[in-house]
Structure 1
Amino acid sequence: MEKILECVPNFSEGRNLDTVEKIVDSFRGKDGVKLLDYQTDKDHNRMVVTVVGEPEALKKTVIEAVGTAVRLIDMRTHQGQHPRMGAVDVIPFIPIRNLSMADAVDVSKQVAKKVAGKYALPVFLYAEAAIHPERYNLANIRKGEFEKMAEKIRRPAWKPDFGDAEIHPTAGVTAIGARMPLVAFNVNLDTDNLNIADQIAKRVRHTGGGLRYCKGIGIELKDRGLVQVSMNMTDFTKTALYRAMELIRIEAGRHGVNVVGSEIVGLVPMEALIDSAAYYLGLEDFSMEQVLEARIME
């Protein structure tokens, strides 16, 4: 592929595997597109897909996947720990090779216009594609979630960027935009007290006075009897994963609980993991040029 664009759509389904597979089939076996990964989470009731491709081919497959999700997912019965506002909750485009952020923004707007018209799905533009400053932050758009979105988008300040000011009755609304790579990083605690995870998330995330490029919420993992600090690290080059981990350890200690594990959702840039590995190993003057795989890929 001469030009590579990445897309990481999040779908509000992580339990019905038949629905999951039908959505993912939209990305399989398509010329100019490569499905890299898809992960489901029953507690979040969510699926994250990672796919790359040439811009035109990728646009077509994403639009097809949206149509499948709109047809199969009914938000009126959806329940899960992760905040959500639609069957296709968010669709970010990320420039990877021979494409600028402006190119990614242009693709995001084209897809937004198409899915709004084709599926009667209201769309908000966010991140680098945002037209309104208050919509840059996805959390501002998602506030109120599916249950309160019907009333929200009737307000003049929250008129969708594409589509009518009326939610799709079963698929809700969608946010589409462009951004740089982020890391979905979750840390698990040895307690079932969700209030503790909420308090820690509040102290770790930027809006609570924590790490600049960190968003976080508390999540309950009922099947495991644990809670989780679920984070999006929006710029791992400026806020490293190990900083989030260590700050969570400190805050967890105040509540008498411990970190028992962590997870990455979807794919992660090698540099993000190497940075944390170098920190925990105490490596001096280490650089990515010393990573065998990085040199081979040059």
Structure 2
Amino acid sequence: MSKIVQCIPNFSEGKNITTIKKLIDVAKSTAGVTLVDHSSDENHNRSVFTLIGSPEGVEEVLVKLSKIARDNIDMTKHFGKHPRMGSTDVIALVPIKNITMEETVKLSEKIGERIYNELEIPVMLYANSAKKENRINLANIRKGEFEGMSKKLLEEKWTPDFGENKIHPTAGITAIGARSPMIAFNVNLNTNNLEIANNIARIIRGSSGGFKNCKAIGLLLEDKNIVQVSINMMDYNKLPLYRIFEIIKLEAKKYGVTILESEIIGLTPGKALVDSAIYYLQMNNFDYNTQVLENYLFD
């Protein structure tokens, strides 16, 4: 049976159409993988790709994409709202079919080793791939961002898993990790007061005493003159989207602010949306496994 892996590389470029097109072309032309989604955000100055394919295809495309990013994205000139530390900032690998998490971890190690050996970009392993406890959480690795990473790597506890204690001068450093499905979920508010978004993010994220399976930061979207609560939902089975949405709505109301819209970046498991539909439509005894037509079509 064929093994299928999902990979989600994040690139520190959301403005330069030429560079983004080069990345798309490589993603579409590499055998063994399919580009199923890509999005670019100028405020974040970041592009997120989602590909699925064989372990061999995923390995090959990620090395190729990392080379394009290295050669076309200069981190010394990069500025964006989203935290970042490298041209290929982070690569997530998710086991989808006929492949275990352990096998996916080994794949992440193989890719990390190749990226350093072939491109001279140091790599740290995170999430399920992490070899040290302080690297499980991606935010811990990325703290200090590109500008502070050279000094950070001099500390023994932050020695890269692959590479020396120094960043690539223009491409920075990359984090690679195997993990369970995650949902990138953003909620936009009808205010330009960043303090409000920061306060709400602080309330909901696990590191500040909020929800264990939630990571969140506040961002100012200058082109829209509004703020955003940018969220990573780490386990939608334990923390559904609607619960976070309702908490944000409640907290925003205290400031006389409402939600303008929400968005999902990249792909999401269908069940995460169905769970919210069940909640808002107040459906009784709905069974996702037996009552969703597409489940039978996919089988």
Structure 1 stretches of 4+ moved >4 Å? none
For structure 2, the residue ranges without an aligned partner over 5 or more in a row are none
For structure 1, the residue ranges without an aligned partner over 5 or more in a row are none
Cα distance, 1:120 vs structure 2 = 1.1
One-letter amino acid of the counterpart of residue 291, structure 1: V
Residue 22 (structure 2) pairs with residue 22 (structure 1):
yes
8 Å contact kept, 1:213–1:235: yes
Query: CA offsets per residue over residues 36-76 of structure 1, 9 Å max, x none?
Result: 01000000000000001110111011100001100000001
What CA distance in whole angstroms lies between the structure 1 residues aligned with 2:252 and 2:57?
46
The residue that corresponds to 2:150 in the other structure is: 150
Query: CA offsets per residue over residues 97-152 of structure 1, 9 Å max, x none?
Result: 00000011000000000101111111100000000011000000000000100100
For residues 94-243 of structure 1, the aligned pairs below 5 Å read 94-243=94-243
What CA distance in whole angstroms lies between the structure 2 residues aligned with 1:128 and 1:236?
17
The residue that corresponds to 1:296 in the other structure is: 297
Cα distance, 1:294 vs structure 2 = 1.8
The residue that corresponds to 1:283 in the other structure is: 283
The residue that corresponds to 2:69 in the other structure is: 69
For residues 261-276 of structure 1, the aligned pairs below 5 Å read 261-276=261-276
One-letter amino acid of the counterpart of residue 296, structure 1: L
What CA distance in whole angstroms lies between the structure 1 residues aligned with 2:32 and 2:14?
27
8 Å contact kept, 1:188–1:261: yes
Cα distance, 1:29 vs structure 2 = 2.7
RMSD (Å), alpha carbons: 0.9
The residue that corresponds to 2:89 in the other structure is: 89
The residue that corresponds to 2:56 in the other structure is: 56
Query: CA offsets per residue over residues 205-240 of structure 1, 9 Å max, x none?
Result: 111221221100001111111100000000001100
TM-score (norm 2): 0.98
8 Å contact kept, 1:26–1:62: no
Number of aligned residue pairs: give it: 298
8 Å contact kept, 1:7–1:92: yes
Q: Once the two structures are aligned, what percentage of the paired residues are identical?
A: 48
One-letter amino acid of the counterpart of residue 178, structure 1: A
Cα distance, 1:32 vs structure 2 = 1.5
Cα distance, 1:31 vs structure 2 = 2.3
TM-score (norm 1): 0.98
One-letter amino acid of the counterpart of residue 266, structure 2: G
